[in-house]
Amino acid sequence: MVARWDGSTWTSLGGANDWIFALGIGPDGTLYAAGRFTQIGGVAATRVARYDGTSWAAMGPGFNNPPEDLVVDSEGTVYVTGGMNLVGGGSPRAIFQWDGQAWTVPGGGQGLNNTGYSLALDAEDNLYVGGSFRTVSGVAANNVAKWDGTSWSALGGGTQTVGAVVYTLEVGPTGELYAGGYFTEMDGGTVEHLARWDGSAWAGVAGGVAGESGAGTAVRDVAFDGGGQLYIGGSFATAGGVAVMGVARLAGATWEPLAGGVGNGTVLAIAVDGAAFYAGGGYSSIGGVSGLNYFARYEGGVATPAEPVPQAGALVLGPAFPNPSIATTTLRFSSDRAQTVRLELFDVLGRRVATLYEGPVSAGQRVAVPVAVGSLPAGAYLARLTGDGGPVTRRLDRAR
């Protein structure tokens, strides 16, 4: 579902039949959405669509895999990146622009040689892309690159950390580019999952983050408030040696925790609006408060639930029990109409772990699905139930 928050009330802009990963707004107010969906607002649209304030419309043939990010420049050009190509387009090219009529690779060529995860635009509409790639249209670029409207270029040596992923890019108030993700080296210098590009060189930011094992440590999103203060969210325990637990704010050269941080899980998206800090993701609690439905607001005191987005109502997915579990738990769901449904399990990186149920259900039928978690790594998982009424989700945890 896509919904608009006006400060007091959520308004639905139409349901989608699968996840939406990214939203962007054009200079004329058009809303753009990209994700896993193939239908939105009752309109067939393969993983990308636009909303003019009244109705949704498809944008060309769409993509064979979901885009991971989407941005819109000041002229209304839409950019998307991911691990995809146009439907029927052959091998992935992973980076596309929409000129109002058709999708093309910026500058032509083969696009990214692997997946793009993040996009950002600066004040001059230069485009930056981050991800897990080595080249873009033949130009060597280690996981981060720039498009100036004419040609692609690398940003220094990028990052060559084994398994590196640049999950997020954000242009700061003074024009510097911030990159977050899973990496411990940038352009030959040591950085800890967070780096800043000043136009000529990369540098770490206040000691970066640490605290999760292996490839679990990552900065997943970066944001700035109106005063230029930097905020980060992700999967980490410390920032610059300070215990922060998944969310932090940089005050001068020192990181500060926000309300005690995340109790269990990962912050995947953050935003700052005035005095309010918003965090979304897969976590059981934040700031010591549970039951926040994966979306919370912090205003300097305690974390509080952001008003929940209304659900379509055709499907009900109950909580896993027992939860957490070390061997087997059970998910129960019901439908108020006859339809075909699919119940899937995803990890916190959005990777599908298992399809738990797929098939028809009748109106009023209640289904219990045992879930074997003993073979899964310890951590948080998201169960997603998809049918005619749009996806509903529940978190479950595999205990250590």
Tell me: the pLDDT tens digits for 190-236? Answer: 999 999 999 999 999 999 999 864 457 899 999 998 888 999 999 99
Name every residue whose Cβ is closer than 8 Å to that of residue 253 and which is 6 or more positions away in sequence: 206
314 — pLDDT class (breaks 50, 70, 90): low
The DSSP-derived string for 161-223 is: -TT-EEEEEEE-TTS-EEEEEE-SEETTEE-SSEEEE-SS-EEE-TT-EE-SSGGG-EEEEEE
Alpha carbons 52 and 60: distance in angstroms, whole number? 16
The whole-number pLDDT of residue 186 equals 95
Expressed in percent and rounded to 5, the helix, strand and coil fractions of the chain are 0, 50, 45
* pLDDT tens-digit series, residues 116-128: 999 999 999 999 9
Alpha carbons 390 and 375: distance in angstroms, whole number? 29
> Would the pLDDT of 55 be above 60?
yes
* pLDDT tens-digit series, residues 138-196: 999 999 999 999 999 999 999 999 999 999 999 999 999 999 999 999 999 999 999 99
**Alpha-carbon torsion 47, 52, 56, 61, what sign?**
negative
Alpha carbons 243 and 192: distance in angstroms, whole number? 15
Q: pTM for this structure?
A: 0.76
The whole-number pLDDT of residue 157 equals 95
Phi then psi for residue 151, to 5 deg, are -150, 160
**Alpha-carbon torsion 286, 288, 289, 290, what sign?**
positive
Alpha carbons 135 and 266: distance in angstroms, whole number? 29
> Would the pLDDT of 99 be above 80?
yes
Cross-strand pairs, 233? 221, 247
Q: Quick one: average pLDDT of 123-140?
A: 96
- Mind listing the domains of the chain with CATH numbers? 3-305 (2.130.10.10), 315-398 (2.60.40.2550)
Alpha carbons 346 and 384: distance in angstroms, whole number? 8
Radius of gyration of the chain (CA): 21
| Tokens (6 digits) for 206 | 């206040």
> Would the pLDDT of 244 be above 60?
yes
Residue of 303, 297, 295 lying closest to 274 (CA atoms): 297
> Would the pLDDT of 29 be above 70?
yes
Judged by average pLDDT, the poorest of 66-70, 345-349, 388-392 is 388-392
The average confidence (pLDDT) of the chain is: 87
The DSSP-derived string for 66-108 is: -EEEEEE-TT--EEEEES--BTT--S---EEEE-SS-EE-TTS
390 — pLDDT class (breaks 50, 70, 90): low
Most confident range, picked from 15-19, 45-49, 287-291, 328-332: 45-49
**Alpha-carbon torsion 256, 233, 179, 141, what sign?**
positive
Which comes out higher in pLDDT, residue 265 or 145? 145
Q: Quick one: average pLDDT of 86-98?
A: 86
Alpha carbons 168 and 229: distance in angstroms, whole number? 17
Cβ-contact 112, 81 below 8 angstroms: yes
The whole-number pLDDT of residue 337 equals 83
> Would the pLDDT of 5 be above 90?
no
Cβ-contact 59, 76 below 8 angstroms: no
Alpha carbons 299 and 250: distance in angstroms, whole number? 16
> Would the pLDDT of 260 be above 50?
yes
